[in-house]
A and B are shown apart, each in its own frame.
Chain A
């Protein structure tokens, strides 16, 4: 999936002021690339990622996937795109508190009307959990897990549908070094197997493992640090 962004602008309107989060972003991300966005907090990284994933609409500018213009796509088409092709890892470790780890991971495939049976979904969830060394925790509730384990669960969840594009917002956020390394390696492997990844991070170790690094400042791409 090749992604092209042309002059993406985002202005948040609050009661009596407007905040310009993005001021004209042009980006070209090819299939199979592993892109990192670095920049100080408040520079618009999360906003950009959310716009690429269709979670918010840009104020102006255009988005193309595989040269198909998506800017004015109706909301339910974006939902289908997310369901079929996108995986999200959020800054906040969002997880459904009243579902067990296994149930949480099965949720993405619940929306998939035709593809798989309950048994198949469960098998895939267990396989992925094993890859992330979480299979012994599958029947636990999220409040029993550490931050690193939670983040691994959200990563596994984002991989359930086998997405072509992974959008990761500070996936190693406040994790210790060991947990971070596990996640770094996992992302590297996913990219090796052909997944396009766009990631936001403060962690330079993590950034260096990617193929391309853009630095963002005040809603603009400041420079290309690598690639």
Chain B
């Protein structure tokens, strides 16, 4: 579905929109970086914190991990939505213009989806890679925490967790953007272009 749109064959509107984002939205880039840093710090703190609790009270706080993942996903949702409003909300006029020039509703829908999905998907993959590296980096701590040998079983337990999380992020992308894309693509161009 993505990328099939005839809209983008000859003049890549998606890339031009990103070029504009990069040029005019310093804060957008900063949010992206901050978001990644935040994720990294959260995971680090979480692991150290659980380790601390374990050493002090000899109990394991698994929910800490859960909490980290939930806040990471909330951040991700926020991020997807910020991106969506940056690329889409301000651009109602543009979609009106495209419709008046002969773009179909389905083409606008594809365009919006394509534009607002690419970056979150890239970020989501980056997070996954980051998580795997953190897992490797903390393998000793995690071993002492959960008493799992580093190796296949280790990845079976934690890798699964993070891959599930990545799947959750893809769901977030879709369910946060799909209805909005549908809404914006069905807007009547007349109401946009009247004044």
Residues in A lying within 8 Å of B, measured CB to CB = 46, 50, 53, 55-56, 75-76, 79-84, 86, 88, 90-92, 94-99, 103, 106-111, 113, 117-118, 121, 157, 161
Chain B: interface secondary structure? helix
In whole angstroms, what is the CA distance A152 to B99 when docked? 20
Chain B residues with CB under 8 A of A46 = 194
> Which of A91, A95, A97, A111 makes the CB contact (< 8 A) with B6?
A111
Q: Is the CB of A75 within 8 A of B104?
A: yes
Interface string of B7-44 (1 = CB under 8 A from A): 11111010011011001100000000000000000000
Which B residues, 144 to 158, have Cβ-Cβ distances below 8 Å to chain A? none
> Which of B97, B189, B194, B195 makes the CB contact (< 8 A) with A96?
B97
Q: Is the CB of A82 within 8 A of B97?
A: no
Chain A residues with CB under 8 A of B24 = 98
**A94 and B9 in contact, given A76-B104, A82-B102 (Cβ under 8 angstroms):** no
Q: Is the CB of A110 within 8 A of B193?
A: no
Closest 8 A-B residue pairs measured CB to CB? A83-B102, A98-B20, A55-B190, A82-B102, A56-B190, A79-B104, A108-B101, A110-B11
Q: Is the CB of B193 within 8 A of A94?
A: yes
In the complex, 11 of the A-B residue pairs with CB atoms within 8 angstroms, ordered by the A residue number, are A50-B194, A55-B99, A55-B193, A76-B105, A79-B104, A88-B100, A107-B97, A109-B10, A110-B7, A117-B10, A121-B11
Chain A residues with CB under 8 A of B93 = 94, 96
> Which of A83, A92, A103 makes the CB contact (< 8 A) with B194?
A92
In whole angstroms, what is the CA distance A121 to B105 when docked? 24
| Distance (whole angstroms) from the CB of B57 to the closest CB of chain A | 56
Residues in B lying within 8 Å of A, measured CB to CB = 6-11, 13, 16-17, 19-20, 23-24, 93-94, 96-107, 188-190, 193-195
**A53 and B194 in contact, given A94-B93, A110-B10 (Cβ under 8 angstroms):** no
> Which of B94, B103, B188 makes the CB contact (< 8 A) with A55?
B188
In whole angstroms, what is the CA distance A82 to B190 when docked? 13
Chain B residues with CB under 8 A of A75 = 104-105
**A98 and B17 in contact, given A111-B6, A111-B7 (Cβ under 8 angstroms):** yes
In whole angstroms, what is the CA distance A88 to B19 when docked? 27
Q: Is the CB of A56 within 8 A of B9?
A: no
Closest to B96 in A: A94
| Distance (whole angstroms) from the CB of A162 to the closest CB of chain B | 13
Q: Is the CB of B17 within 8 A of A108?
A: no
Chain A residues with CB under 8 A of B105 = 75-76, 79
In whole angstroms, what is the CA distance A55 to B36 when docked? 43
Q: Is the CB of B11 within 8 A of A83?
A: no
**A92 and B188 in contact, given A108-B101, A118-B10 (Cβ under 8 angstroms):** no
In whole angstroms, what is the CA distance A97 to B101 when docked? 16
Q: Is the CB of A107 within 8 A of B17?
A: no
